[in-house]
Structure 1
Amino acid sequence: MSRVHVLGNAGMDLGLTLPHMPAPGETVVGNDPHRAPGGKGLNQAVAAVRCGAVVRFLAPLGDDPEAAEIAAALQAETFDALELPRFRGASDRSILMLTPDGENCIVSLGACGDGFEPAAAAGFAAEVGPKDILLMQGNLSFAATRAAAAACAGRVVLNTAPMLWDVRPLLPRCAIVVANAVEARAITGSDRASALRDAGAGIAIVTLGGNGCRVADDAGEQDLPPCPADLVDSTGAGDAFCGALAAVLGMGWPLMDAIAAAQRVAARTVERRGAFAAIPPPAECASLLRRVA
């Protein structure tokens, strides 16, 4: 089994339910506040480890009380290695706004992630073996992400969310790129997975929410149907997909089987509220993987 190395952010999420998303200048009263550890890096690392991967995770945290809470939640997971360097100031945090139809909008603060040094990112990635996977997102700076990709001897899997900088220079270094339709259009002007491949990605996956996903590899492009799900909250779907995908690829699964497994894990995630709290527990993930295998 290959090791999955996740380099990304971790923070604290505050979730609110809104009757509808605010229009410009509008004040909307939310309800049912809840908080939990979060961040794309954290969610994807947790999804990978709950799917049975051997996972090494690094995320920068602040020196505030939230950092201790985040660290405690991560230490309860079965990571092979956990690296949580501390920086002066507040840990990253996000506000997750959810409407009754299950759609979401997220606003994030990311000083810890953005301030992570490129040399430290390269040092982390230098320990990725040739058969291993390095999973990254867009929360760290472009310089840090580029340095990690350059230092990695294994397969680089990049989730393009959030779109904080131009990812196009990194695409030729990526074995797999995962983007949603909005991100794909921002990068290439098209939501076709083949456009991301034309821009340099080895394999491109464009997630389409309830419409499944598009995949482009050496065999061409194809649309894959969605897994049935009773939508409650779409917030953590992309992270669950990416973490599960990296996990089963690390186990040696063929690409299409790995995508099917990741879709199943994501489908179960959207049937629960939250992101971290919605990721299926290990026993459920194991059952979902057996159904695909």
Structure 2
Amino acid sequence: MARVLVLGNAGLDISLAVPRLPERGETLLGDGVSQAPGGKGLNQAVTAARTGILTRFHAPVGRDAQAEEIRSALSVEASLEFDPAPLDHPSDFSLLMVMPDGENSIVSGGPCATSFSASAATDFAVTAEAGDVIVLQGNLTQEATLAALKAASDRGVTTLLNPAPLWWEVGPLLPFSTIVVANRGEAEAITGVADPANAAAALRQQGVSIAIITLGAEGCLVRQGTTIAHYRAMPVDVKDTTGCGDTFCGVLAAALTIGRTIDNAIDLAQRAAAITATRAGAYAALPSRQELAAIFSGNERH
């Protein structure tokens, strides 16, 4: 049976509601503090597993209480196999500052993610089999991420790269990425092209088979071959956009694993991301197993 394999980071998310971003040297009061498991890899793996698709998640964590909290939280997720890689570093974390309009800014600390080796990444990627989809993000080092993509590509496996956060050059990874999902700003940073449609074309020229540029409330643009399509997003009352991209990637991977077309997979991913946008937080805002089942069956409530 085909699976979703996710290689990425796992940590704790600390969310804080703020009226605006602080100025340089300013101390700004916030409220609504919350803490939950997080990390792009973790969120994408949980979302994929909640679709009912068998999902294996491999992530470096510390040997500390935070790692135990992560393990405990993920143990209740049906269809998810969490395979942690313990390292002698503090577990990763992120600080999410959420503005009143729902937009967010994130600062992350990733000592475990940045210490994860390329050889360990390869060891995980070579477990991929025909029909699997392997998902990676930008939290691990370029060397580890590239090693995993190369190993998976050599096995003929579909690779999905969501390169956020951008802290190293993405270009060398593109020829090994079947699908790239990037937002408007990330696509411009990677390609040097501001227009999303042209940025998608530039990603294709660098070896990506399917380039997806997410545009928030405007939906997304998809370049496949010489064809570009605009998929409109479902209108919702946005509370917090944190985790929307992770929901999108997790559902997209799961849908492709069970043979859905790219058109249908994107539609399902956007519907799931719309649910996340209506809730505060990241992990807490991910769609439930029941909500995803309704989306996949076409019976969700609008």
TM-score interval, normalised by the smaller of the two chains: over 0.9
- Paired residues of 1:61 and 1:87 also in contact (CA < 8 A): yes
Normalising to structure 1: TM-score of the pair?
A: 0.97
Cα distance in 2, alignment partners of residues 164 and 72 from structure 1: 30
Q: What displacement does 1:80 show? A: 4.7
Q: Show the counterpart of 1:201.
A: 208
- Paired residues of 2:46 and 2:80 also in contact (CA < 8 A): no
Equivalent position SS for 2:106: strand
Equivalent position SS for 1:28: coil
State how 1:245-260 maps to structure 2 within 5 Å.
245-260=252-267
Q: What displacement does 1:130 show? A: 2.3
Give the partner amino acid of 1:105: S
State how 1:130-279 maps to structure 2 within 5 Å.
130-152=130-152, 153=155, 154-190=157-193, 191-192=196-197, 193-279=200-286
Cα distance in 2, alignment partners of residues 214 and 199 from structure 1: 17
Q: How many residues align?
A: 293
Gaps of at least 5 residues in structure 2 are: none
Give the partner amino acid of 1:258: A
Aligned-CA RMSD value: 1.3
| Cα-to-partner distance string for 1:142-180 (whole Å, 9 max, x where unaligned) | 111111111112111000111121111111111100000
Q: Show the counterpart of 2:6.
A: 6
State how 1:25-44 maps to structure 2 within 5 Å.
25-44=25-44
- Paired residues of 1:13 and 1:39 also in contact (CA < 8 A): yes
Normalising to structure 2: TM-score of the pair?
A: 0.94
Equivalent position SS for 1:210: helix
Equivalent position SS for 1:60: strand
State how 1:75-114 maps to structure 2 within 5 Å.
75-114=75-114
Cα distance in 1, alignment partners of residues 133 and 101 from structure 2: 35
Equivalent position SS for 2:32: strand
Cα distance in 2, alignment partners of residues 151 and 199 from structure 1: 19
State how 1:7-26 maps to structure 2 within 5 Å.
7-26=7-26
- Paired residues of 1:257 and 1:292 also in contact (CA < 8 A): no
- Paired residues of 2:204 and 2:225 also in contact (CA < 8 A): no
Cα distance in 1, alignment partners of residues 264 and 251 from structure 2: 11
More deviation, 237-246/82-91: 82-91
Identity of aligned residues (%): 47
Equivalent position SS for 1:107: strand
Cα distance in 1, alignment partners of residues 2 and 272 from structure 2: 20
Choose which of 281, 287, 290 in structure 2 pairs with 1:283. Answer: 290
Gaps of at least 5 residues in structure 1 are: none
Cα distance in 2, alignment partners of residues 43 and 181 from structure 1: 21
Cα distance in 2, alignment partners of residues 242 and 80 from structure 1: 16
Q: What displacement does 1:197 show? A: 0.8
Cα distance in 2, alignment partners of residues 290 and 45 from structure 1: 21
